[in-house]
């Protein structure tokens, strides 16, 4: 990690010259005269279209005849055969520094927010790095401790505790509240832990990135956020590598001793871009149509998320098929999976996380403590029992239940309402001031409801409140 903040000047391009011999969409073949002139893998090659637009190529394979097969990071429209291509002799580097706060860059580190150039004093970092070296250095930074990051969101802290260096998947359809939940997490971690955030937009709509920027600006946290976008209209090379650009920014912040929240939207689009590139490179796909390198690509990315970098990953599930190979490959690296329920959202239960469909491996007595673990398991037991009773209540009514079942059902309703919360980033919508709730306060309140000390109170009293008092 020590080399992340090292000054790496961008040298003048005076490398070996080759010629473009083939252009197949985003895949470009460049031929060099001698084998000694061949660039290494992941090195950048610069060429120009006939209308003088510069195109950056990343070397992906070496072919016979001194040909470097490359993936373009920009559109190859108007790129001609026999165009001069110059090997830069270096891997792709991006600017790193506090000057990137509040700015938006693309996969090559160039600003795309219309606010002019970014001057970081020559500090640059490579986006392709040795995973083993990154992991080794980060362990020194982390000190080998399991440390919980308090988010102030009751349902997250109680059932999906965020551990430094953990990876949490956020699954949900359009309009389920993914953005609001993520913005609240960003707001709370930035404000409470003096943390910073990196938002990485991978293959999503331009409209979403635009809206997110102005929402961050409105709630006043833009100056603590770095943004990198490889959007839906860009070539697969940009959508595939933008995730590495985002992680490189997060690694820089980590070396500064900051708590880092890395949000990636959408990790499935990263896999999708990799599949497009793999097909264009002529690789034989796996039985399910995905690239044969699927597992290694997903693994390399997740192995770099270490130390104080806590990642939240939005994951699109194609056709709601949880067994899809891409989804399975991503899920195998996640410590927690939060499923946002459309039904709960429509009922006004915000955040709309369904605790019975979600899971978290960090919810362990050795990590969160015995009391926290016992209360969370009892809460899940009560909610599971209430879900069974809900279908009965819909038919015969609550008054026909036995006394014990009726008590369990009512407590579950109170717990469900208590898991809602007024959010800082949604104050203009709800009219309620946001609240940051400590883990201890959440545990005390859940214990009171489960013990029956709140049985005399109406369930409406627990809706959209912070602490139980």
- Hey, which residues are catalytic here? 178, 204-205
- The SS3 assignment for 20 reads strand
Q: Tokens representing 135?
A: 């992991």
Q: Tokens representing 130?
A: 């040795």
Taking the CA atoms of 287, 293, 294 and 296 in sequence, report the sign of the dihedral they define.
Answer: positive
Place of tokens 């600003």: 111
Q: Tokens representing 161?
A: 């505790």
Buried b (16+ CB within 10 A) or exposed e, 335-353: bbbbbbbeebbeeebbbbb
- Cα 353 → chain centroid: 17
> Are 65 and 31 a contacting pair, CB within 8 Å?
yes
Q: How far is the C-alpha of 430 from the C-alpha of 433, rounded, in Å? A: 8
The runs of H, that is alpha helices, within 23-130 are: none
From the list 273, 305, 308, the residue with the least C-alpha distance to 291 is: 273
- The SS3 assignment for 445 reads helix
From the list 315, 333, 335, 313, the residue with the least C-alpha distance to 324 is: 315
> Are 184 and 435 a contacting pair, CB within 8 Å?
no
What's the number of CA atoms in the CB half-sphere (13 Å) around residue 347? Answer: 15
Residue 140's H or E segment, with its range, is helix 131-142
Helix and strand counts by DSSP (H, E) for the chain = 14, 18
């Amino acid at each position: 990690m020590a080399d992340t903040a090292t000054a790496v000047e961008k040298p003048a391009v005076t490398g070996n010259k080759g010629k473009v011999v083939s252009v197949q969409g985003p895949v470009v073949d460049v031929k060099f005269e001698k084998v000694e002139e061949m660039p290494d893998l992941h090195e950048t090659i610069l060429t120009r279209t006939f209308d003088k637009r510069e195109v950056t190529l990343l070397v992906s394979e070496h072919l016979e005849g001194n040909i470097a097969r490359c993936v373009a990071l920009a559109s190859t429209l108007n790129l001609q055969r026999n165009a001069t291509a110059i090997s830069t002799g270096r891997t792709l580097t991006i600017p790193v520094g506090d000057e990137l706060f509040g700015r938006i860059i693309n996969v090559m580190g160039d600003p795309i927010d219309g606010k002019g150039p970014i001057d970081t004093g020559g500090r640059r970092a490579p986006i392709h790095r040795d995973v083993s070296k990154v992991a080794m250095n980060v362990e020194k930074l982390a000190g080998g401790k399991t440390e919980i990051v308090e988010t102030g969101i009751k349902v997250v802290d109680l059932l999906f505790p965020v551990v430094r260096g953990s990876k949490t998947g956020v699954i949900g359809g359009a309009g389920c509240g993914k953005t609001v939940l993520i913005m609240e997490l960003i707001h709370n971690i930035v404000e409470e832990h003096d943390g910073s955030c990196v938002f990485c937009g991978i293959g999503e709509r331009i409209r979403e990135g635009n809206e997110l920027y102005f929402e961050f600006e409105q709630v006043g946290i833009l100056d603590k956020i770095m943004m990198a976008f490889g959007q839906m209209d860009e070539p697969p090379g940009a959508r595939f590598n933008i995730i590495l650009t985002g992680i490189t920014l997060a690694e820089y912040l980590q070396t500064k001793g900051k708590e880092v929240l890395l949000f990636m939207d959408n990790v499935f689009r990263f896999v999708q871009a990799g599949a497009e590139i793999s097909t264009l490179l002529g690789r034989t796909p796996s039985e399910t149509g995905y690239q044969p390198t699927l597992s290694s690509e997903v693994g390399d990315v997740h192995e770099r998320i270490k130390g104080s970098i806590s990642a939240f990953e939005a994951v699109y599930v194609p056709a709601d098929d949880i067994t899809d190979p891409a989804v399975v490959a991503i899920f195998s690296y996640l410590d927690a999976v939060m499923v946002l329920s459309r039904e709960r959202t429509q009922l006004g239960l915000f955040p709309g996380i369904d605790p019975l469909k979600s899971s978290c491996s960090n919810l362990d007595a050795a990590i969160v403590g015995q009391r926290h673990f016992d209360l969370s398991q009892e809460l899940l037991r009560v909610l599971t029992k209430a879900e069974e009773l809900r279908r009965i209540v819909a038919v015969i009514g609550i008054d026909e239940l036995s006394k014990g079942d009726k008590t369990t059902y009512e407590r579950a309703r109170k717990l469900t309402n208590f898991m809602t919360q007024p959010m800082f980033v949604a104050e203009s919508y709800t009219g309620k001031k946001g609240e940051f709730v400590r883990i201890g306060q959440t545990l005390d309140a859940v214990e009171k409801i489960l013990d029956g000390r709140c049985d005399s109170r109406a369930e409406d009293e627990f809706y959209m409140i912070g602490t139980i008092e």
